Amino acid sequence: MPEVDAEFTALPLRQLADAALSRARELGAEHADLRVERVRSQNVGLRDARVEYSRDGEEVGLAVRLVHEGTWGFAAGVEMTTEEAVRLAEQAVDVARVSAPVNADRVELADEPVYADATHVSAYDVDPFGVPDPQKLALLTDLCERLFAADGVDHVNASLLAVKENKFYADLAGTTTTQQRVRIVPEFTAVAVDRAQGGFETMRTVNPPVGRGWEYLTGTGWDFEAELAELPELLAARTKAPSVRAGRYDLVIHPSQLWLTIHESIGHATELDRALGYEAAYAGTSFATVDKLNSLQYGSPVMQVTGDRVVEHGLSTIGFDDEGVAGQQWDIVRDGVLVGYQTDRNMARLMNLGRSNGCAFADSSGHVPVQRMANVSLQPATDGPSTEDLISGVEKGLYVVGDKSWSIDMQRYNFQFTAQRFYLIENGRLVGQVRDAAYQATTTDFWGAMEAVGGPQTYELQGSFTCGKAQPGQGAPVSHGCPSALFRGINILNTVTEAGR
């Protein structure tokens, strides 16, 4: 397993913590924590096998967050000195004092064991920031050139985004943690241009973003060469596909598309701050309010959804969150019933839910930690069917692969989703692609229509490299695992007709 970068551990982490926390204690803070963060990023884009852009970034800073007389205070800076750490502690107390008159709820944090000198490094083999740029570009260019040379492909867009995140955390209770996470997402899109009609069609790879390193591009966890080899044929079939006939269809949905519906209709809906109405300005609140806990029929009895911060290669996987809470797994939906939320320490204590399940995260030292999404996953059936078996049980339906666009209301309830590919199913067999399709439903109707989930052999860990939330806005990575699943009688829209064209 890789070790935490020496450049990060060489920073005066303990001295900064001692200075900030000692001053916070002197000023009467009930809780105080210090974070030191370094976030490195690299973003490369190619068009038609030529480099279009290449950007590298690094952000290093420290932050003090505390509770003073029941009110949050926060301050952040970039100077790695004990004098700056003391100043930030004093500034955070000043912020708490100014904020106290408008604080309606006294801040109290759920209890958590103390973790002294804990270290966590995410599961990867090859640090992408240790791979020379010419080597990266050579591989990306080679893959693009092969795709660009295929018949029917007029343009190829490709991108690679990699992030390495270092965090040091220390609090007044005695917890100190040092962590390093690596994540990466390559993406390739083939474009076919219809010059006669002035339109175009695209087909994108459906590989997920992952908590892996450079090995992901060289055959570990995904076969990019195989997927890119079939992309031109899939694109050609899409360009010739008929427009879908609107109506009710049974759907078999592949994990490469279903993850996004999980993200929007379950992941965001079961963030406790949304359910309580604390988060409302960015993408709304939630229909899954706390009075419905342990009673809301979220979906059918085959629906088992967990939250976790521990799955290997998960984008939201951590050793400890930004409040010093250890990673764990818990139930969100059991047998179709809402039984849990995603929480941080303040929200868990506020609702008397016991221990936090470790969902506090800040995307940089300059931002305050907020409640963020865990890896929210639909579990497979132990002896469940294959995707082919699910398809064979459909008389009239669609097989849905790959995410594309989506729309959902501010209560995470009414939605519609499109996909990279829709295949028509007739009498248990795939009979070719259709286009211009979107599936539409309400959250509970959709998950209530889920008749069967596939077995472990159909399960994939998909997800989003960046999920937005909070104001000022923050981005957080999150994975969603799921099997293929069968849904009965879902409304299918023709997007061209709906657009009035």
DSSP letter, residue 93: H
- The percent of residues above 70 in pLDDT, for the chain, comes to 100
Residues 425-449, mean pLDDT to the nearest whole number: 98
pLDDT tens string 17-41? 999 999 999 999 999 999 999 999 9
Q: How far apart are CA 401 and CA 253, in angstroms?
A: 7
Dihedral angle computed from the Cα positions of residues 102, 106, 111 and 112, in that order, rounded to the nearest 10 degrees? 10
Q: What pTM did the predictor assign?
A: 0.97
1 pLDDT more than 80: no
The greatest distance separating any two alpha carbons of the chain, rounded to the nearest whole angstrom, comes to 75
Nearest-CA neighbor of 182 among 366, 359, 3? 3
Q: Which residues pair with 60 in a beta bridge?
A: 38
**pLDDT number for residue 464:** 97
- What CA–CA distances, in Å, run from 130 to 8, 127, 183, 209, 212? 15, 5, 14, 19, 14
Kindly indicate the confidence band of residue 283, based on its pLDDT and cuts at 50, 70 and 90: confident
Judge contact between 412 and 269, C-beta under 8 A. Answer: yes
Q: How far apart are CA 398 and CA 466, in angstroms?
A: 29
383 pLDDT more than 90: yes
**pLDDT number for residue 501:** 73
169: burial class by Cβ within 10 Å (0-12, 13-18, 19+)? Answer: buried
Q: And the tokens for 202?
A: 């695209």
445: burial class by Cβ within 10 Å (0-12, 13-18, 19+)? Answer: middle
What are the φ/ψ torsions at residue 33 (nearest 5 degrees)? -140, 155
3-state secondary structure 93-132: HHHHHHHHHHCCCCCCCCCCCCCCCEEEECCCCCCHHHCC
In the block, residue with structure tokens 């195989």: 226
Kindly indicate the confidence band of residue 195, based on its pLDDT and cuts at 50, 70 and 90: confident
Q: Which residues pair with 403 in a beta bridge?
A: 419
Residues 370-395, mean pLDDT to the nearest whole number: 98
198 pLDDT more than 80: no
**pLDDT number for residue 263:** 98
Judge contact between 476 and 373, C-beta under 8 A. Answer: yes
**pLDDT number for residue 337:** 98
Kindly indicate the confidence band of residue 194, based on its pLDDT and cuts at 50, 70 and 90: confident
- The percent of residues above 90 in pLDDT, for the chain, comes to 96
What are the φ/ψ torsions at residue 100 (nearest 5 degrees)? -55, -45
- What average pLDDT does the chain have? 97
Residue type, 312: E
**pLDDT number for residue 197:** 78
**pLDDT number for residue 213:** 98
62 pLDDT more than 80: yes
**pLDDT number for residue 19:** 98
pLDDT tens string 146-175? 999 999 999 999 999 999 999 999 999 999
Q: And the tokens for 288?
A: 């899954």
Domains of the chain: 6-240 (3.30.2290.10), 247-498 (no CATH)
Q: How far apart are CA 90 and CA 95, in angstroms?
A: 9
Q: How far apart are CA 485 and CA 399, in angstroms?
A: 10
Residues 466-480, mean pLDDT to the nearest whole number: 95
Least trusted range by pLDDT, from 155-164, 191-200, 287-296, 303-312: 191-200
Nearest-CA neighbor of 298 among 403, 485, 442? 442
Strands of 241-326, DSSP E: 247-253, 305-308
